[in-house]
A and B are shown apart, each in its own frame.
Chain A
């Protein structure tokens, strides 16, 4: 028993990718014969901010789904802060500090903004199964109130989510991803459909995150993606074909030909 424990610790310490926040090795996902993702190997350091770019159908959201456990990869391993989480259920990964937002907002439209964030805070606390209603000075309620302020939704915190504008719903998505103590966040196209003002607000929120909080962001808008990231991975047809600094990627002729359609303004 003790032997097994020491071996597990030793295994963890020497495992490839220890020291990385997220480490994917040879991850593939097939839907029948269709390869949505093939042989993806990525490592992201703690606190690193990475953008994943690629055209529609490049496999970006599939990548996220494999990391968060929405479905299991066909092959390969996923490590989160050194721990092999390939086979973990989605909620187990979230409890270890992984968070994500969804491309299409998956919110509880009948509940208010505060209730949505409160639920997100409950999910990663021991209060999940509480049959007792929270008091107004409850720690989870006050942390939910704080998150409302982070994403500038104070004015609408008691409004049902179905009455929010699209941009406000996207902001709420981000607040829910920040609940608890996130160590690493996956943002799936947070800027899609936002107005220019909202985009600059989003950039402000993302760059204002504490420096230990790393993230991967999928984003079509190059202006947003390159401003909030330190490194970029380009995906095409389910594979990563280029990695580098934002400036290198922007100048890369191959990237421009494939993704930007020969240059952008």
Chain B
């Protein structure tokens, strides 16, 4: 009896799979197949246009735009990218990423040079940068080790608790963290004869590291570690039954994310030349989540889209609000409203809106079928 009912459905689905397979064959035989192309031919033209625009930006944009908009957006995008890696691929929403970034920035100030000479040790850059990153990765990993024992809302709570603890600790500790005022005068080193404080140089520096972080996340997402992380996200029980140590994998993901956040933190400290408790206050900690969600957690480009929107809103909100006759310091209102609108209309962020728009454009108006030709 059961066999009779299951057979037709099996036939149909088997048939449809074969059909899919057949229909995908012609494209596989023509020379434009992905696997036959060299690596640079496989990249869509849109990416090349974006790369050229970003590379020539310094010749058209002012120093303010380069440093305060793009530089800042690349840095925030990197820190949000570390959250995207954990949340998107690992299913772990961590609010610790901004704090990890700030810890790297603090270590740069403490071990390296700053205006607070009573505390700063003044070590050279080749010692301070690795030490800062190692401490940031350790901090992120230990937090991860605590957080992976929990799930969902409890992961958020535990990471938020550690982030708050870090904020209050740095604000009250004057011996090491110089309390409320933190450190100023934390400057990038003069390297290769370039003044990295110069807006153009700093723009390329942040662009380089943001691109590297983006490519690294994309690469790792298809490497065994990234695949396994996505497996852990979808089905931890099954992953354990395949021989994976689920918690070890999650902790390693925290370590990888902490490395990206740590690099972002060092750049963030150089960008404003200072680090203080407010850098990783509760507001900025949550802003990273907002940035990642606005952009979309589905793909690594999402956090950068979110960061550009956030930075532009934050900088121009004052002008917009003033022109509407409102007080300029209510820019959070605009950020909040935008966040609400985006999440309301597209829970998967701008990326989700974009995907749906592309899908609707490719949809046949009569049959509703999605055509995948053209700009694939």
A-B complex is real:
yes
Known: A94-B242, A108-B234, A195-B7. A163 touches B17 (CB 8 A): yes
Separation of A165 and B12 alpha carbons in the complex (Å): 9
A230 at the interface (CB under 8 A from B): no
Q: Which residues of A contact B9 (CB under 8 A)?
A: 165-166
Q: Which residues of A contact B222 (CB under 8 A)?
A: 133
- Do A91 and B238 touch (CB < 8 A)? no
Interface string of B225-237 (1 = CB under 8 A from A): 1011011001101
Select one of A69, A70, A179, A193 contacting B2, CB under 8 A: A193
Select one of A94, A110, A119 contacting B240, CB under 8 A: A94
Separation of A132 and B219 alpha carbons in the complex (Å): 8
Q: Which residues of B contact A100 (CB under 8 A)?
A: 241
- Do A128 and B20 touch (CB < 8 A)? no
Select one of B7, B219, B242, B244 contacting A133, CB under 8 A: B219
Interface string of B244-255 (1 = CB under 8 A from A): 111001001000
Known: A106-B238, A133-B222. A123 touches B6 (CB 8 A): no
Interface size on B, residues (CB 8 A): 38
Q: Which residue of B lies closest to A101 (CB)?
A: B241
- Do A89 and B7 touch (CB < 8 A)? no
Separation of A36 and B318 alpha carbons in the complex (Å): 65
Interface string of B1-26 (1 = CB under 8 A from A): 01100110110011011101100000
B51 at the interface (CB under 8 A from A): no
Within 8 A of B (CB), among A157-212: 159, 163-168, 176, 179-180, 193-196, 198
Q: Which residue of B lies closest to A159 (CB)?
A: B17
Q: Which residues of B contact A120 (CB under 8 A)?
A: 242
- Do B225 and A130 touch (CB < 8 A)? yes
B220 at the interface (CB under 8 A from A): yes
Interface string of A93-117 (1 = CB under 8 A from B): 0110000101000111111000100
- Do A156 and B17 touch (CB < 8 A)? yes
A118 at the interface (CB under 8 A from B): yes
Known: A131-B223, A156-B17. A180 touches B243 (CB 8 A): yes
- Do B223 and A119 touch (CB < 8 A)? no
Q: Which residues of A contact B230 (CB under 8 A)?
A: 108, 110-111
Q: Which residue of B lies closest to A130 (CB)?
A: B224
- Do B20 and A159 touch (CB < 8 A)? yes
Q: Which residue of B lies closest to A115 (CB)?
A: B227
B243 to chain A, nearest CB (A): 4
Q: Which residue of A lies closest to B234 (CB)?
A: A108
B239 at the interface (CB under 8 A from A): yes
- Do B6 and A133 touch (CB < 8 A)? no
- Do B223 and A124 touch (CB < 8 A)? no
Q: Which residues of B contact A198 (CB under 8 A)?
A: 10
- Do B20 and A106 touch (CB < 8 A)? no
- Do B3 and A196 touch (CB < 8 A)? yes
- Do A68 and B241 touch (CB < 8 A)? yes
- Do B225 and A129 touch (CB < 8 A)? yes
Q: Which residues of B contact A109 (CB under 8 A)?
A: 234
- Do B242 and A124 touch (CB < 8 A)? yes
Select one of B219, B225, B244 contacting A91, CB under 8 A: B244
- Do A94 and B241 touch (CB < 8 A)? yes
Q: Which residues of A contact B234 (CB under 8 A)?
A: 108-110
Separation of A34 and B317 alpha carbons in the complex (Å): 62
Within 8 A of A (CB), among B334-372: none
A213 at the interface (CB under 8 A from B): no
A127 at the interface (CB under 8 A from B): yes
Separation of A25 and B152 alpha carbons in the complex (Å): 38
Select one of A70, A89, A124, A131 contacting B225, CB under 8 A: A131
Select one of A70, A127, A140, A165 contacting B17, CB under 8 A: A165
Select one of B14, B16, B223, B242 contacting A123, CB under 8 A: B242
Separation of A109 and B9 alpha carbons in the complex (Å): 19
- Do B10 and A195 touch (CB < 8 A)? yes
Of B20, B243, B256, the most chain A CB neighbours within 10 A belong to B243
A166 to chain B, nearest CB (A): 7
Separation of A193 and B6 alpha carbons in the complex (Å): 7
- Do A119 and B242 touch (CB < 8 A)? yes
Q: Which residues of A contact B235 (CB under 8 A)?
A: 106, 108
Separation of A132 and B224 alpha carbons in the complex (Å): 7
A201 to chain B, nearest CB (A): 12
A42 at the interface (CB under 8 A from B): no
A122 at the interface (CB under 8 A from B): yes
- Do B237 and A123 touch (CB < 8 A)? no
Separation of A168 and B13 alpha carbons in the complex (Å): 10
A interface residues (Cβ-Cβ under 8 A, vs B) = 68-70, 89-91, 94-95, 100, 102, 106-111, 115, 118-120, 122-124, 127-134, 140, 155-156, 159, 163-168, 176, 179-180, 193-196, 198
Give the 4 A-B residue pairs with the shortest CB-CB distance, closest first. Answer: A123-B242, A123-B243, A94-B243, A90-B240
5 further contact pairs, Cβ within 8 A, besides A94-B243, A108-B231, A163-B20: A91-B242, A128-B244, A130-B223, A131-B225, A195-B7
10 contacts between A and B (CB under 8 A): A70-B237, A106-B238, A119-B231, A123-B244, A128-B249, A131-B220, A133-B223, A133-B224, A134-B223, A195-B3
